Amino acid sequence: MENITEPKKRILSGIQPSGALTLGNYVGALRNWVQLQKEDIYECYYMIADLHAITVRQEPAALRKNCMDLLAIFIACGLDPEKEPIFFQSHVPAHTQLGWVLDCNTYMGELSRMTQFKDKSKKHENNINAGLFTYPALMAADILLYQADLVPVGKDQTQHLELARDLAQRFNNAYSDTFKVPEGYIPKVGAKIMSLQEPTQKMSKSDPNENSYILMLVPIDKVVKKIKRAVTDSGSEVKRGEGKEGVENLMSIYSAVTGKTMEDIELEFEGKGYGDFKGAVAEAVAETLKPIQEKHADLIKNKDYLETVYKRGAEMANKTAMKTVSKVYRKVGFIQP
């Protein structure tokens, strides 16, 4: 019999090195990246989105540190750089090359509707720059360059992803079939981890209240304290429901790090109070973060190894990305060099 093997599905995703990573980034994105990479039916490209980070002013030394930290965290979380590329976006010029073409195919109206642009413009009133505005077109380029089938992200990226799909279709209609139209991969649990202090707001490292977020590299005793101080409600039952956003958020975190379902968690804590529950969540999060932190601490000392990882990653990513750029440049009518 003929042996027909399905081609592997492509995955692309990225995280900005615009500060320390939060538990939200881990639960909503990184954790799923690792799982997807382990499944042999996917070919995964994971990048550190440094070009995106400068849409907000960055201190150069801090940016360099954040970039290397992020690379070490990716590996510490279980991504295998031997298997597939991990790279810095700025090492692959094709991102800006395709970004420009997509800028010229994106409408001002589409970009004006982006809620993240609106939020960030409010936060950085003195630096509402053109890059911050056109950033979703660059993100579309990131995805479309690799002809990605799937994009694992948290819920806050769905609007950007929708634009990437629209741009792919628009370009394909105008210039003939060129791009794969990507699908999002949004986890069922943990797609939007909320602030520990205001559970109707997303957990974010830019929150002025330090108790509202957990950073992945924070000392473990702080993690435990923050979870114990998390806002719940005046009731005592560990279950989902109206007015129980705080408890539900902790349940999502617990579910993500233990693999237990929300139903299992409700059963596990039936008849028990918030104290027991928070203790269990804190312990589970600490157990998850501890080995990642230890591995990160080892890796970050090994600059030579990290350099081989990102150089190799860029080489592999460049190869795939340049194929798409050449095709796009030919289709829009540029003379081949």
Residues identified as active-site: 120, 202, 205
Q: Calculate the alpha carbon distances from 287 to 279, 293, 326 in Å.
A: 12, 10, 47
At residue 14, the 3 state secondary structure works out as strand
- State the maximum Cα–Cα separation within the chain, in Å, rounded to a whole number: 72
Q: Which residue is nearest to ligand TYM (CB)?
A: 28
The nearer residue to ligand TYM, 29 or 309, going by C-beta atoms, is 29
Contact (Cβ atoms closer than 8 angstroms) between residue 321 and residue 92? yes
DSSP for 110-146, written as a single string: HHHT-HHHHHHHHHTGGG--HHHHHHHHHHHHHHHHT
Residue 106: strand, helix, or coil: coil
Q: Which is nearer to ligand TYM, 46 or 269 (CB)?
A: 46
Q: Which is nearer to ligand TYM, 202 or 244 (CB)?
A: 202
> Given the complex with ligand TYM, which of 253 and 280 has the nearer CB atom?
253
Q: Which is nearer to ligand TYM, 70 or 306 (CB)?
A: 70
- How far apart CA 311 and CA 331 sit, in angstroms, is 30
> Which H/E stretch holds residue 293?
helix 274-301
What b/e readout covers 281-316, taking b as 16+ CB neighbours within 10 angstroms?
A: bbbbbbebbeebbebbeebbeeeeebeebbeebbeb
Q: How far is the CB of 301 from ligand TYM (least distance, A)?
A: 25
End-to-end Cα spacing for the chain: 45
- DSSP letter at 90 equals G
Q: Which residues bind ligand TYM (CB under 6 A)?
A: 12-16, 24-25, 27-29, 49, 52, 139, 142-143, 151, 153-154, 156-157, 191-193, 202-203
Q: Is the dihedral of CA 172, 175, 176, 177 positive or negative?
A: negative
